[in-house]
Structure 1
Amino acid sequence: MNTAPAARAMIAGWFSFPGCNATAGDILAAQVLAGWISEAGLACDIARAEPFEPLLDWKAVDPQQYTHLFFVCGPFRDRPMSHELLERFDHCQKVGVNLSMIERLADFNPFDLLYERDSERTTRPDLVFASDPARVPVAALLLVHKQKEYGDRGLHKQTHQLIHQTLAGRNIACVPVDTVLENNATGLHTIQQINTVIARADLVITTRMHGLVMALHNGVPAVAIDAIQGGAKVLAQARSVQWPIVTTADDLTADWINQSIDRCLKAEIRQQVALSQIRAREALESLRQEMIDAITRPSVGISQ
């Protein structure tokens, strides 16, 4: 005696096909839909192609174990790849969700149930509005160009490679910031724009001396790395304000970068930032007064 399979849904979308440029919005919509389906008491799987994890190839599974096929998010029109998917799961109830239907529904609607995002008959809010707006720390990344004046002491290439490799393993949003005002590589054209991006970051990771200075000046903790063998101006500047999170290219390791990032994300580091700001202001006030005194003091040998 044959028994009907237990209700189980396959969720597909453009993230189920390699090379379809699936977006964060597509993935978020699929997560929302999976939650709704689970609430309805249906087990569900999400078909994912590389680079999305965990991989599940809809062409490799047994389609007979599924009773429902959902296609979620994005523009949807009559095209060969979607035909193949629909034909493979032809026995399933086919449900379209959060789709922009490109063609008139009278001409093309392969779904048994359609809850479109927009078509000629209706519009609905995108499913991403129902997603969890999870966030991660933001790191402003300020990396210096190769400094030829330091000759063979410059270890910029290997330093920056290690920074990028380490950050690739962290769930941190890295925003490159260029401080060069002429032909800025990151589209920032004024000092105010650069300062604003730095100030809104949770931390700064930098091999630039002014990356360290602008971070601390804006109240943002910095992972300061001197790319010059033995240290140069980045290390000297950190020492001038007693900023503790600094190292040189010679001693740089992935562990040190990770530990320094973790340290910068702790609340107590803000007190150290404030102390460095105070030291800088006090030293510069002393310098200002010393310089003013020097240039206004009558010099020996100059007639009055």
Structure 2
Amino acid sequence: MRDDVSAVVLRTLSGPGRPPERVLLTGWFSFRDGEATAGDVLAQQHMSAALTRAGIPHDTAWSPGFRPAELSLEAADPEAYDTLLFVCGPVHGPQVAALHTRFRTLRRLAGGVSVVDPADPAATGFHVIVARDGTAAPARRDLAATAPAGPLPPVAGVALSGGQGEYGARRRHTEVNERITGWLAGKDCARVPADTRLATDDWRLCATAEQFLALVSRFDVLVTTRLHGLVLGLRTGTPVIAVDPVAGGAKVTAQARAAGWPALVAAEALTPRLLDHWWEWALSGAGRTAAACRSTR
């Protein structure tokens, strides 16, 4: 089996000659106008862990749009480093090429990258490229494939209502949805929109009720302001946090009571603390058991 990208990069960094004194670790996750994909960030974690094991001091430059409190490319002082390492993504385009100008005094390496055009200044500016693809050498496994990662968080389905004009002045939908989504943004979970609306001409929506049931059954928890979010979540045995978006309570409240489901929040009582309480309960053994008892699968 061929050495993985990080092993080749570490050998290149360490010899011949003395190892680098400090590395600036970069990628597309570093660019203000770039993007941080899951693969990019896992590649960063892989290479950062490899550098740490090798005893090589390093910093990572992050996009201020993604991690505003961390070191940015703009704030990174070229004189503080002797090596720049770029990981993942294509070595292509003006943003990558600009690295060679700003950090021209550093030794520059790229690892686990795609070489789209070997003649592009973005590629030719690196002293060494350990490519995953795009060169005459056989493809190498992507860094993200074996990157260290923490425990997987829960998957949260989110089914919200924005209509229901029939409730008139009692509607609290906009305020409730903003509070729920703002709260969810701070939770460590994978958020998945779950629209109860069916369609045969939109691939993003389920086309049958059975497809929607299959989707909801995969969630660890479902947060919803919809009656059928509550009903179908419980039908599949998925714990539900139901929020009634109508002042004074309406059909969501009625269905929660009919099902004997405790994780119900009134629009007037909606707070992050109360949502946290039901979140912890829904993901506990008690919440999962309560939902399973109401399942009709």
- Give the TM-score normalised by the residue count of structure 2: 0.84
Q: Aligned residue for 2:270? A: 252
Structure 2 residue aligned with 1:145, among 150, 157, 162? Answer: 162
In the alignment, is the contact (CA less than 8 A) between 1:178 and 1:184 conserved in 2? no
Q: Aligned residue for 1:51? A: 65
Q: Aligned residue for 2:186? A: 169
Distance 1:72 1:263, change over 3 A: same
Q: Aligned residue for 2:207? A: 189
| 1:76-130, Cα deviation, whole Å (9 max, x unpaired) | 13x4433432233333332110111122379953333321111231211110011
> Does 1:74 find its partner at 2:92?
no
Percent pairwise identity? 35
Following the alignment from structure 2 to structure 1, what is the Cα–Cα distance between the partners of residues 162 and 196?
11
Q: State the one-letter code of the partner of 1:199.
A: S
Q: State the one-letter code of the partner of 1:190.
A: T
Q: Aligned residue for 2:43? A: 29
Q: State the one-letter code of the partner of 2:286.
A: E
Q: Aligned residue for 2:127? A: 112
Q: CA RMSD in A?
A: 2.5
| 1:199-222, Cα deviation, whole Å (9 max, x unpaired) | 000011111111111111101110
Note the 1:207-286 alignment, pairs <5 A. 207-277=225-295
In the alignment, is the contact (CA less than 8 A) between 1:76 and 1:99 conserved in 2? yes
Q: Aligned residue for 2:3? A: none
In the alignment, is the contact (CA less than 8 A) between 2:227 and 2:251 conserved in 1? yes
In the alignment, is the contact (CA less than 8 A) between 1:96 and 1:115 conserved in 2? yes
Following the alignment from structure 1 to structure 2, what is the Cα–Cα distance between the partners of residues 197 and 221?
14
Higher Cα Rg: structure 1 or 2? 1
| 1:151-189, Cα deviation, whole Å (9 max, x unpaired) | 212211111111111111112222111112247794211
In the alignment, is the contact (CA less than 8 A) between 2:242 and 2:263 conserved in 1? yes
Following the alignment from structure 2 to structure 1, what is the Cα–Cα distance between the partners of residues 94 and 290?
60
> Which one is further off, 46-55 or 232-241?
46-55
Q: Aligned residue for 1:302? A: none
Q: Aligned residue for 2:79? A: 64
> Which one is further off, 250-259 or 56-65?
56-65
Q: State the one-letter code of the partner of 2:169.
A: D
Following the alignment from structure 2 to structure 1, what is the Cα–Cα distance between the partners of residues 116 and 204?
35
> Which one is further off, 182-191 or 119-128?
182-191
In the alignment, is the contact (CA less than 8 A) between 1:97 and 1:114 conserved in 2? yes
Q: Which runs of 4+ in 1 moved over 4 A?
A: 105-108, 182-186
In the alignment, is the contact (CA less than 8 A) between 1:178 and 1:185 conserved in 2? no
Following the alignment from structure 1 to structure 2, what is the Cα–Cα distance between the partners of residues 212 and 90?
58
Distance 1:96 1:231, change over 3 A: same
SS of the aligned residue for 2:141 comes to coil
> Does 1:85 find its partner at 2:102?
no
Following the alignment from structure 1 to structure 2, what is the Cα–Cα distance between the partners of residues 112 and 30?
20
- Give the TM-score normalised by the residue count of structure 1: 0.82
Q: Aligned residue for 2:11? A: none
SS of the aligned residue for 1:268 comes to helix
Number of aligned residue pairs: 275
Question: Structure 1: where are the runs of 5+ without partners?
Answer: 282-304
Structure 2 residue aligned with 1:127, among 143, 146, 164? Answer: 143
> Does 1:157 find its partner at 2:157?
no
Q: Report which structure shows greater RCO (CA 8 Å, sep ≥6).
A: 2
> Does 1:18 find its partner at 2:32?
yes
Following the alignment from structure 1 to structure 2, what is the Cα–Cα distance between the partners of residues 177 and 243?
20
Q: Aligned residue for 1:298? A: none
SS of the aligned residue for 2:124 comes to coil
> Which one is further off, 201-210 or 130-139?
130-139
Q: Using the TM superposition, give the Cα deviation of residue 133 of structure 1 relative to its aligned residue in structure 2, in angstroms.
A: 4.6
Q: State the one-letter code of the partner of 2:135.
A: E
